[in-house]
Amino acid sequence: MTIGISGTGAASDPLRSRPSAKASSAASFETILESFKKAAAQTPEERVREAVLKKHDLNEADYDRLAPEKRKAIDQEVAAAVKKLHERKTGVPATEHSFATDKLFG
């Protein structure tokens, strides 16, 4: 009795035809590392602004195309979030002019 095995090459082996787990893991690590570096380079206020834009499904280009009144509403939301962040970090209530937010709005 003879038993034949067909399809034993790399093309038929699903584990050999996929990228290695190490390669996928390295790519994921690089993506995470780049994201971390970007966040680490930002000020807390910039991260808050980015979070508010993300909440509204906006990026910088989308924000720039908004009507002035919608941009103003986003800016006010960012300013309120920055004020809240300041108060949470320092424990001191922020006054209207205790810190500058004009740099956040370009």
Give the residue-averaged pLDDT of 63-73. Answer: 96
For the cut 60, the answer to whether the pLDDT of residue 36 exceeds it is yes
Rounded Cα–Cα distance for residues 100 and 82 (Å):
10
Per-residue pLDDT tens digits for 13-35: 555 555 566 677 878 989 999 98
Residue with tokens 């082996």: 13
Give the residue-averaged pLDDT of 47-69. Answer: 95
Beta carbons within 10 angstroms of residue 78's beta carbon: 21
SS (H, E, C) 35-74: HHHHHHHCCHHHHHHHHHHHHCCCCHHHHHHCCHHHHHHH
- Closest C-alpha to 97, from 106, 74, 82, 73: 82
